[in-house]
A and B are shown apart, each in its own frame.
Chain A
C-alpha cells in the first residue's frame, strides 16, 4: 500500500455557507470510514493537498462533507471548482475524540469560527447516543452573523442541545450575545467536577478559551483540544506538524490539555 496515494472523490454538491466558506459534499470511490475528530488530506489535483476534519457524521461514510474556508492557494482553487469535479482523498489520520471518556458527563463545546465543522461531526456522534451524556452544551462564536456556518441547521441544533451564540460584530437583526466566545462561559452554569470541555477554533481563541476554562476551575485533564498545524503527510513522517515531541497528525489532533500544558510555547 502506497501511503501517499489518494483515492478519487467526486464533488456531488457545494453548499455556500458564508462569502468565504463552502461545504463540499464528496462521494468517495469507496466508503470512507473515519472517527470524528480525525482528519483527511484533501487534494485538488495538480494544485496541492491540505488537511481538513470532516464535518459530516462519521457513521455515514458514503458521503464526506468538508466545510472549507478560502484562505490560501489550495483552498482558493478548490473554491473555484464546481459540482462534478474530482478531488483526491487520503486518510483518515489521527486519533479522533475519545467519546467513551465523555459518557456520563456534561459535554461543553467551546467553538470558534471554522471550528464548527469538526464540532458538527462531534455533535452528530454525541446526538447518536444523547442519553449517555448528562448535558450537551455548545458555545459558538463567529466574527459577524454572516460568518456563522450551518445557519440552516442552527434551529435544529438549538432544539437538540443547549446552544449559545455570540458574534464579535453584530448587525441590527442580531438578537443573541455580542463579544468573544469566552464571554459566553460567564453566562452558563458549569458543573465543574462533571464536565469535559472540547475546544476547537483559531489558535488565539483556543488559547484564551482554554485559559478561561482553567480560570473557571476546570482541570487540565478535563479539557480536550483539537490542535492544528501544517500536516503535510498526515502519517507521522514529514515532521512539519510537530508540537514538541508529538506529531499532531498521529498523536493528535485531539490532545488532552494535561499533556500539552507541560510543553513550552504551544500556542505559537
Chain B
C-alpha cells in the first residue's frame, strides 16, 4: 500500500526544520570534499543539508551502537533524542538486523533507548556511487520501510511520505504548511526514483548473478575464489566497521574498574577475533576469516533473522584498502558454479 503523501514547500520546510531543531538533536548529511557526513545541524548549516545524492559515509550504527561504550557497572546513560535527516534506504534497512540482534530475550537497554528516542527521516538517492549495489541485493535506492518520514526533493519543495505514527506526530502543529501533492510532483518522484534505479542497475550490470547471493554460496565453501579474492586483504577490518549491519562486539574490563564493562566494535577479519583462552581459533587462516564474512552476511544472518545481512550500501567496497569488491567475488563464484567439477558441500 502506498504511504500517505504530502507536499511541503522549501520555505515551509525550513520553518518546520527550525522547530524540530528546538526539540531534537538533528543530524543530517553535509558535503565535505567528495563525501557526505552526518553532522550536527544548526541554523548556520541547515541550508547546506544534502537531501539527495547518496548515503553518508557513516552508517547509522555509529550513533545507535557507539564504537565504544560502557555497558555495565555504570549508571544508565542519558540518551538524547536524535533526529536523523537524510537516512538512505540501505541504512534504514540495516536497522532491521540491529533491531533483531539487540532486541529479543536479552535486549540491549541503551540500543533500545536510542532506537526508541530517535526519529528517522529518510531521503531518496539520486546519484549512486560506483560502489552502490542496493539493487544487486534486491533493494532499491529509496526508502520503503523503517522510516518515520521520507522526503523526496521536487521542484520548489519536498514530497513527504509518512511511514509511522512517530512520523505523523512530527508533522503535528504544522498542518497549515502541509499541502496535497499534485499529480506532476507525484510523477516527478516516480520518475526520479526510476532514473536512480536504472543508474544503480547500470553500475551493477557487470556483476549480475544467476541467483540470489545466498544460493550462489551453496557449494561454494571450498571454492578457489576465496583464496583469489582475499589475496589483497590486509585484515584492517574496515569492511566490518563501515558496514551498517556488522555488529560483532567484544566485552572488556579494560577500564580496570571492578564490574565496569566496556563494549567495543570487533571485526571478524582480525586474527584474534575468535581466539579462545588456550590460543586455538576456528579460523586461523586469512582466507577462512575472509570467507566467514561472506557467509555471515549472505547466509547466516539470513538464517538467524530472515533478512540478508547486506543492504548494498557499498561501504565495504569503498573502504577496502585491498580494492576487494564483493560483487566480483560473487560473480566469480557464480561463474565457477556453472562450470563442471565445482566441489559441492552436502546439501543442508
Q: Which residues of A contact B (CB under 8 A)?
A: 1-6, 8, 43-50, 71-75, 88, 203, 228-230, 232-233, 235-245, 247, 262, 264-265, 268
Q: Are B277 and A50 in contact (CB under 8 A)?
A: yes
Q: Are A75 and B277 in contact (CB under 8 A)?
A: yes
A180 and B263 alpha carbons, distance in the complex (Å): 41
Classify the interface of chain A: helix, strand, loop or mixed.
loop
With CB as the reference atom, state the residue of chain A lying closest to B284.
A268
CB contacts (< 8 Å) of B104 on chain A: these are: 236
Q: Are B304 and A245 in contact (CB under 8 A)?
A: yes
Q: Are B106 and A235 in contact (CB under 8 A)?
A: yes
CB contacts (< 8 Å) of A237 on chain B: these are: 101-102, 106, 108, 247, 249
In the assembled complex, B274 has its CB within 8 A of some CB on chain A: yes
Across the interface, B250 reaches (CB within 8 A) one of A232, A235, A241, A243, namely A232
Looking at the assembled complex, report how far the CB atom of A147 sits from the nearest CB atom of chain B, in whole angstroms.
15
CB contacts (< 8 Å) of A88 on chain B: these are: 259
Q: A48-B252, A229-B282, A238-B249 are in contact. Are A72 and B71 (CB under 8 A)?
A: no
CB contacts (< 8 Å) of A265 on chain B: these are: 221, 282, 288
Looking at the assembled complex, report how far the CB atom of B114 sits from the nearest CB atom of chain A, in whole angstroms.
15
Within 8 A of A (CB), among B323-348: 345-346, 348
Binary contact track B69-105/A, C-beta < 8 Å → 1, others 0: 0011100000000000000000000000000011011
In the assembled complex, B251 has its CB within 8 A of some CB on chain A: yes
Using A47-B253, A49-B253 as known contacts, list a sample of 17 further A-B pairs with CB atoms less than 8 Å apart, ordered by residue number in A.
A1-B109, A4-B251, A46-B253, A71-B278, A203-B280, A229-B276, A232-B250, A233-B251, A235-B106, A237-B102, A237-B108, A237-B249, A240-B273, A241-B274, A245-B303, A262-B346, A264-B221
Q: Are A45 and B108 in contact (CB under 8 A)?
A: no
5 A-B pairs closest in CB distance: A45-B258, A72-B277, A235-B106, A4-B72, A3-B106
Q: Which residues of B contact A (CB under 8 A)?
A: 71-73, 101-102, 104-109, 221-222, 247-253, 255-259, 261, 263, 266, 268, 273-278, 280, 282-284, 288, 295-296, 299-300, 303-304, 345-346, 348
Looking at the assembled complex, report how far the CB atom of A64 sits from the nearest CB atom of chain B, in whole angstroms.
18
Q: Are A45 and B259 in contact (CB under 8 A)?
A: yes
Q: Are B259 and A240 in contact (CB under 8 A)?
A: no
Q: Are A3 and B251 in contact (CB under 8 A)?
A: no
Q: Are A4 and B71 in contact (CB under 8 A)?
A: yes
CB contacts (< 8 Å) of A3 on chain B: these are: 106-108
CB contacts (< 8 Å) of A4 on chain B: these are: 71-72, 108, 251, 261, 263
Q: A49-B253, A239-B248 are in contact. Are A5 and B73 (CB under 8 A)?
A: yes
Across the interface, A49 reaches (CB within 8 A) one of B109, B251, B255, B266, namely B251
Looking at the assembled complex, report how far the CB atom of B283 sits from the nearest CB atom of chain A, in whole angstroms.
7
Q: Are A262 and B105 in contact (CB under 8 A)?
A: no
Across the interface, A242 reaches (CB within 8 A) one of B108, B250, B257, B300, namely B300
CB contacts (< 8 Å) of A238 on chain B: these are: 248-251, 266
